A and B are shown apart, each in its own frame.
Chain A
Amino acid sequence: MAKLLDKQRYKCALGAMQTVQAITRAIPVLHSGPGCAQKLSDSIGSSGYFSPNIFPCTSINEKDVVFGGVKKLDTTISNALKVIDADLYVVLTGCIPEIVGDDTGEVISRYQDAEKPVIYASTAGFKGNNYKGHEQVIDAIIDQYLEKADEKEKGLVNIWADVPYQDLFWLGNIRELENLISELGLIPNTIFGYQRGISNIERIPKAEFNLLVSPWVSVGNMKKMEKKLGIPYLHYPTLPIGAYETSKFLREVGKFARVDEQKVESIINEHEKYYYYLIERYADMFLETRVMAKQFSVVADAQYALGITKFLVNDLGLVPAKQFITDDTPKAFQEQIKAEFENLNYGLKAEVNFETDSYKIHNEIQSHDYHGYPLILGSYYEKEITEDMFGHFLNISWPVQDKVVLDDFYVGYTGGIRLIEDIYSVAVQRWN
């Protein structure tokens, strides 16, 4: 039922056009009103090979609402194939065609023999948010484009993580996950970002397993691939940030992929040595910065709320105040995620709220005693209230206005160091 969405932190399912945009040379074709793409795009960092104003769109008008927009969809797809040089055309339906009942599937079926693949996903805005839309697009690829492979490629692993563009660090994170998997001697396969695209999609069925690094997003996609393509999956719910979680991650993936245990330990050892060389040099900063309280809150989607909480507790020895998950996590996953927050070092448990109403989140933050200047990692909405509390603010979740990220990342050992750099670049601005 409709609810008060106060300071919203996600988009609608059609926001999945950004998932398509993140696949190089794949283009979303929108069966929607004229302005949906512009609204759902981010104002910076969207001008790649395709940008939202390149996306073909049926630009539904009043007449189409009455008479249906099927004909316009057909000419839009057929001409998009002529005008736009893409490898994959993904038709995304918005609210209007789904309410008036346009048979998009029937139109798409006319393009089965087209020179380039044309698939479609149902992404009406009222069907869920862009996390859900992201899953719809991946489902569409599995259902309409992929076939079971006759043979597997030894060591090939598909890696899946959170939602491109919604996740500020999506590009850097997935590359770093690839690097970590490569070090284990496995061959990573991902479909998003630079030099990834249709050929990576075609390789998906050959993988020995799927690795999902997300608390809940894409679990359904993994199950679908297991069933249709016979690919087993490893679900690692925590985004590994910093030494503690990344080493745990490598051990778990190593075990699942039957990588020699000693090899895994030696990789971990090398990384931890350098990591702690840096930490040792900056230990004075952690101990002697006067302005940082021990308590913190993260306001983000499940991925960052969990990943950052584990990092700050298990690596840096901070203490969690209440944490807030703002991605409208489906009920079915909430208990599982909660359990992860209760599984921290020294038996620490973090209380976590699944909350999309920011008014309530802000009230809780403002009424909590952080025993000093708090550290708040969240969206741009938390900037002002953190400043009011003389706290330290880092903009890590959507909406982002306080930080520009081209390919920075928080994943892995290096990512943990980057996050420390970002947090303390804020903290050192003040003396007391």
Chain B
Amino acid sequence: MALNLESSNVATRENRIGSITGYVGTLNDLATQSECGTLKGCSRCFSQSSTCLSGCALGQLSAIRDVAIIHHGPAGCSVASAGTYYLDKVMAKKRGVTNNTVYVGTDMNEKDTIFGSADALRRIILEVNKRYSPKAIFVTSSCATGIIGEDIDSVVDDVRDEIDVPIVAVHCEGFKSRIWATGFDISDHAVLSSIVQPPKQKRNTINFKNFYESARPEIIEIFKNFDLEPIFLYCNSTVEELSHISESLATTCICGTLGNYLGNGLEEKYGVPYIRTINPLGIAGFETWLREIGRVTERSEAVEKYIAEQRAIYIPQIEEIKKELKGLKAVLGMGPGYTFEVSRVLNELGIEVVWALAWHYDKKYENGDIPPSMEYLLENGVDFEASVADQQNYEVMNILNKYQPDLYLSRHPGSTVWAIKNGTPAVYVADEYMIFGYKHTLEFAQSVLDSIHNRSFEKNLARRVKLPYTEWWYEQNVDKFLEEAKK
């Protein structure tokens, strides 16, 4: 990719890497069309609410310790600050550190939409800096400020002299992209352009992009075997830590969608290799990933030794539990960074994927290749029905109703609840490390078993609730409202 750190604007995933949110077909067709360049996403003439890219962008940035987020817009845009406050407190407490990050809004009103409010924003930035002395300041826009043309770049440039920490404009208009993951790119861009410094020395560190670092202690232990030290990003990161990530030996990520912008950016700008394998979920994923880290950091021998030891402990147990999972049918709905990874793990465990929904699909990664998770499935002869839908619940329910699978897996809040209302057992694959490595693959297999062994909750509930969709809708094909791409 061509990284332009001079501009505060990031092109959307649609424009940069041809990402789409509307498709119904098969995995094979999706991949073939991506490769030969014929894939065009469809739009919908009926859609349900999904997610705002600003939530992804600012969720990432606000997890950094002791920074300030100034969200210039109406109170609804900055409402995520309430959740951020809670999350920052509890995540820091768990780590045994403190986090005094502040996330404020500007409560923009009707007059501001007419006359603009650049002066007020300027005062607010200075006041926040005075109150909290943050280590970095992110000034961000909203749909309303974007449309009226409020020039947050100029305001930021204007106050820069008065503020002695990094300050950067972050463009977060929600209408810009239907792909909320564009928000991850926006946050990475802000970090790369304002905080990361050129390397002064090399360190034995690996940048590890994740969400909530639940597996932090065990990954630190694993990497000790290879004399490597992981730096987890961005939850509980400090600005000082981030300024040095250009000095790491490599960058890796628990979710390709989350990390590809940062990984590619660090590689392009500072030559830090980005580990582009399938993700460390399941057996093949974990081993492929570890081996690549071994190769890139020249530690293959230690990695092979570790793999052999761990296989001896876990593979027999996983083989044992597979006997009970064999023949189960699953539908899954997740971001593309997980859908095709989890599909591989389900296949490994003997669970048949009958339909996989990805909340969006990146035709190509920043380096121009099709996503490795997809490539792996195709090379191993796995195919299933697949669709791309930005959390369109009515499509999920239509599919669940038609296929009546044994299991629905989803990663996003508010999705699994609808499966259980349909009477389908569901596993909420919330934690990004839920299927990480041998140990969590075994745990995951066990949770799947537990979920289908006791179906009381979903059966009790499903028997008593009415679903919110009409009979008419259940009789339609899932692609009913997809419109042909107009390009």
Contacts and interface: CB of A to CB of B under 8 A. Distances in A.
Interface in A22-63: 27, 30, 32-40, 43, 46-47, 49-62
A163 to B, nearest CB: 14
B76 A84 contact: no
Contacts of B143: 33, 60, 94-96
A356 interface: yes
Interface residues of B, number: 73
Interface in B35-82: 45-55, 72-82
A70 B405 CA distance: 39
A79 B86 CA distance: 38
B77 A125 contact: yes
A287 interface: no
A415 B393 CA distance: 38
A304 interface: no
A130 B107 CA distance: 12
Nearest to A40: B76
Given A12-B76, A126-B74, A2 B108 contact: yes
Nearest to A379: B82
Given A12-B74, A40-B79, A53 B415 contact: yes
A184 to B, nearest CB: 34
Interface in A54-111: 54-62, 64-65, 72, 75-76, 79-80, 82-86, 94-96, 99-100
B106 A38 contact: no
B413 A5 contact: no
Contacts of B394: 54, 83
A35 B174 contact: yes
B109 A2 contact: yes
Interface stretch (B121-129, B218-226, B258-266, B282-290): B121-129
A285 B102 CA distance: 39
B16 interface: no
Given A3-B120, A59-B178, A36 B47 contact: no
B52 A36 contact: yes
Interface stretch (B186-194, B445-453, B469-477): B469-477
A135 to B, nearest CB: 16
B147 A39 contact: no
Contacts of B102: 6
A399 B82 CA distance: 6
A223 B280 CA distance: 62
Interface string B96-131: 000000101111111111000100110110011001
7 contacts: A2-B121, A12-B77, A33-B174, A36-B174, A38-B414, A60-B143, A82-B472
Given A5-B105, A10-B75, 10 more contacts: A3-B106, A4-B127, A5-B75, A8-B78, A12-B79, A15-B79, A34-B52, A36-B49, A38-B55, A125-B77
Closest 3 CB pairs of A and B: A35-B52, A12-B76, A125-B74
Interface of A: 1-15, 27, 30, 32-40, 43, 46-47, 49-62, 64-65, 72, 75-76, 79-80, 82-86, 94-96, 99-100, 124-130, 356, 359, 380-381, 384, 398-399, 401
